Amino acid sequence: MSERPGERHIIKSAVRLLPLVFLTVFFFYPLLAIFRLSLAPQGHLDPAALSKLVSTTYYARTLWFTTWQAAASTLLTVVLALPGAYVFARYRFPGKNLLQALTTIPFVMPTIVVAAAFNALLGPRGRLNLTLMALLRLQHPPINLQHTIWIILLAHVFYNYTVVLRIVGGFWANLNPRLEEAARVLGADRWRVLWQVTLPLLAPALVAAALLVFIFCFTSFGVILILGGPRFATLEVEIYRQTMNLFNLPLAATLSLAQIALTLLMTSVYTRLQARTGRPLKLHPRQTTQRRPATWRERALVGGNVVFMAALLLTPLLALAERSLWTGSGYALTNYSELFVNRRGSVFFVPPAEAVRNSLIFAILTVGLALVLGIISAYLLADRESRLNRWLDPIFMLPLGTSAVTLGFGYIIALDRPPLNLRTSPLLIPLAHTLVAFPFVVRAVLPVLRGIHPHLRESASVLGASPARVWREVDLPIVGRALLVGAVFAFTISMGEFGATSLIARPQIPTMPVAIYRFLGQPGALNYGQALAMSTLLMLVCAVGFLGIERFRYGGAGEF
């Protein structure tokens, strides 16, 4: 190695700038372009289009609803998922990996398909109501969740449970159980241990997961529109209506700015909290922190949570899979075999293998890009000496809180000339996915990175290890797990077709969700059956993907 120190420094700086360059080109630039066009097409602001903002209380009420439903959804998700995270962190039990993979599948399911599944289970003629009516001899369905706030909250828990489970559970697994045991020995009761020892230690991961869930629910779209029904609207829903149906771009842009401002505010609060809660810890390999449940109490705890997860997350998915096999008169694979037949010779027919391949290519690209950008960003943020962090951290989270409609339009007007003529390039799809995915990598990695005790690295250096070797033998083994968590989410986000990609003009490279929507667009039992068959395939491909990512071991990564 004959690199000169100066050269090395330049390379280092260039690498550090990568996430910011990426954000500037694929986020801020298109966003500014659409805001400028929307708010000041002739170079000055036209207040007439915004008069509606102040003339009615509707938008203020929408903002309020957006905020409180997100807060309620987040609280509910955290409270319900925390016991599960504990069980996954502390115990080994058969089927654990599979269950963990399955709990993440909701994240990729198209809302319209989930709505159908919820309806089949909880609707007025759903299984639950029919069973209760038969049992209790009732005339009318006792449970009516359709188009209520309850179904919105339930769906948000359904989608986001896995975020808390994986991010908090992953972090928890590396915490030393001795600390809690010591507190017990010293006479603290269970609740006091939880409150004064466990939660403070968990705080970095807990707040990170809560922030992600909050932003997701804050910008919730499909769940609100389809399950919540027309009486509920979040800012995102209103931005969509104003943009697509009324083409009122000034109003849409203003609402979009409000949404971004609130996301900034939330993440700034979070950054402060994080700075206070993050502390170097003695992280332990999970082999030493996990055991089999021994007492009946522990078994009940594990069993109870497994049953809860199965009921909440798996029954809707199973209902879909079952329905995909139903042909009207019995069970068969007709819907699946029909997927392979282009009966009408359509140009837009999607062979299943092609849809799977396209989805996987986009997902792998997204994982690669998101990991590279996410790791660099996390290291930038973990540097305690840098004052820039307070600003950088919220900026890295912004893409999550930005309206997909707005950004999609921004792409169309901004990325239209060489060298960035990407409007119709398939590359735009993984790039847009990465924008949403890399904040997940950052959030998953950062708590662990900050938890690495500086002494570990110092000792390694003192003992003569090169910086590269320190990274390889200290950082990587400890961060590896969190990286895999980040990779799972990046994969998921891409497979599930998040946000802007459905709004950019796309060439004919159909993915699995695109194929599902195509089937659902026309009436007829066969179309519905094929949509469910494709949905079931999507679940299977994702489950295999998750298991594959979790098994990934490179050097020491992932063992910890």
What are the structure tokens assigned to 172, written together?
């928890």
What DSSP element (H or E) covers 292? Answer: none
Task: Give the shortest CB-455-to-another protein separation in angstroms.
Answer: 21
Task: Give the shortest CB-497-to-another protein separation in angstroms.
Answer: 13
Task: Give the shortest CB-243-to-another protein separation in angstroms.
Answer: 7
Q: Which is nearer to another protein, 137 or 417 (CB)?
A: 417
Half-sphere exposure of 238 (CA within 13 A, CB side): 26
Q: Which is nearer to another protein, 231 or 297 (CB)?
A: 231
Task: Give the shortest CB-521-to-another protein separation in angstroms.
Answer: 6
DSSP class of residue 57 equals S
Q: Which is nearer to another protein, 148 or 268 (CB)?
A: 148
Q: Which is nearer to another protein, 163 or 415 (CB)?
A: 415
Q: What is the dihedral of CA 477, 479, 485, 491, to 10 degrees?
A: -90
Contacting residues for 81 by C-beta, under 8 A, at least 6 apart = 157, 161, 163, 164, 165, 168
Q: Which is nearer to another protein, 87 or 428 (CB)?
A: 428
Task: Give the shortest CB-542-to-another protein separation in angstroms.
Answer: 18
DSSP class of residue 399 equals G
Contacting residues for 106 by C-beta, under 8 A, at least 6 apart = 114, 158, 159, 161, 162, 313, 316, 317
**Using CA atoms, how far apart are residues 188 and 238, in angstroms rounded to an integer?**
50
Q: Helix crossing, 525-551 with 512-520: angle to 10°?
A: 160
**Using CA atoms, how far apart are residues 27 and 411, in angstroms rounded to an integer?**
9
Task: Give the shortest CB-64-to-another protein separation in angstroms.
Answer: 16
**Using CA atoms, how far apart are residues 362 and 509, in angstroms rounded to an integer?**
10
What are the structure tokens assigned to 560, written together?
């910890």
Task: Give the shortest CB-127-to-another protein separation in angstroms.
Answer: 10
- Helix, strand, or coil here: 91? strand
Q: CB 365: neighbour CB atoms within 10 A?
A: 19
Q: Which is nearer to another protein, 51 or 522 (CB)?
A: 522
Task: Give the shortest CB-30-to-another protein separation in angstroms.
Answer: 12
Task: Give the shortest CB-367-to-another protein separation in angstroms.
Answer: 8
Task: Give the shortest CB-438-to-another protein separation in angstroms.
Answer: 13
Contact 157, 78 (CB under 8 A): no
What are the structure tokens assigned to 481, written together?
């797990």
Task: Give the shortest CB-505-to-another protein separation in angstroms.
Answer: 4
Q: Which is nearer to another protein, 14 or 307 (CB)?
A: 14
Half-sphere exposure of 404 (CA within 13 A, CB side): 21
Contact 436, 486 (CB under 8 A): no
Task: Give the shortest CB-409-to-another protein separation in angstroms.
Answer: 6
Q: Which is nearer to another protein, 202 or 474 (CB)?
A: 474
DSSP class of residue 331 equals B
HEC readout, 12-45:
HHHHHHHHHHHHHHHHHHHHHHHHHHHHCCCCCC
Q: Which is nearer to another protein, 298 or 354 (CB)?
A: 354
Contacting residues for 48 by C-beta, under 8 A, at least 6 apart = none
**Using CA atoms, how far apart are residues 280 and 174, in angstroms rounded to an integer?**
13
Q: Which is nearer to another protein, 263 or 535 (CB)?
A: 535
Task: Give the shortest CB-221-to-another protein separation in angstroms.
Answer: 10
Q: Which is nearer to another protein, 23 or 557 (CB)?
A: 557
Q: Which is nearer to another protein, 78 or 365 (CB)?
A: 365
Contacting residues for 434 by C-beta, under 8 A, at least 6 apart = 22, 365, 366, 369, 370, 373, 490
DSSP class of residue 107 equals G
Q: Which is nearer to another protein, 20 or 526 (CB)?
A: 526
Q: Which is nearer to another protein, 297 or 343 (CB)?
A: 343
Closest listed residue to residue 360, CA positions, set 448, 206, 492, 174 = 492
What are the structure tokens assigned to 559, written together?
């063992």
Task: Give the shortest CB-159-to-another protein separation in angstroms.
Answer: 17
